[in-house]
């Protein structure tokens, strides 16, 4: 437990910030999950609309440093790849993992 007044204030601030950061991260995950469900259902138009929401939330979280900017870029890139594969008629569920596996094999 903090003893000084300054340490007590820092603890209060950290608790508030942790709750806000956790809520933001959870919100991003929820929107990503919805997007993936729409892709699995074959609704590419709705997935594209959901992608706009995910991009906005991820960019906001990255600019506030709640998540690392590279993580936001990674989320957007992976989802974009899946949406593109689904719009071309490919399997949306297997598009991104297959691409990553091929990239990993090429590096080795």
Q: How far apart are CA 47 and CA 102, in angstroms?
A: 25
Question: Mean pLDDT across the stretch 94-104?
Answer: 54
pLDDT in tens, 15-38: 999 999 999 999 999 999 999 999
Total structural domains in the chain? 1
Write out the residue range of the structural domain in which residue 11 sits: 5-107
Residue 67 is part of a domain; what is its CATH number?
A: 1.20.58.110
- Whether the CA torsion 27, 32, 37, 43 is positive or negative: it is positive
Say whether pTM exceeds 0.85.
no
Q: How far apart are CA 50 and CA 45, in angstroms?
A: 9
* Residue 63, number of CB atoms within 10 A of its CB: 11
């Amino acid at each position: 437990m903090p003893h000084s007044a300054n340490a007590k204030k820092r603890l209060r601030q950290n608790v508030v910030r942790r709750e806000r950061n956790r809520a933001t991260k959870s919100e991003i995950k929820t929107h990503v999950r919805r997007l993936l469900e729409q892709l699995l259902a074959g609704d590419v138009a709705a997935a594209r609309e959901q992608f706009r929401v995910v991009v906005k939330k991820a960019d906001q979280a990255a600019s506030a440093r709640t998540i690392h900017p590279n993580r936001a870029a990674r989320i957007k890139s992976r989802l974009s790849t899946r949406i593109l594969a689904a719009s071309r008629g490919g399997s949306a569920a297997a598009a991104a993992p297959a691409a990553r596996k091929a990239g990993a094999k090429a590096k080795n």
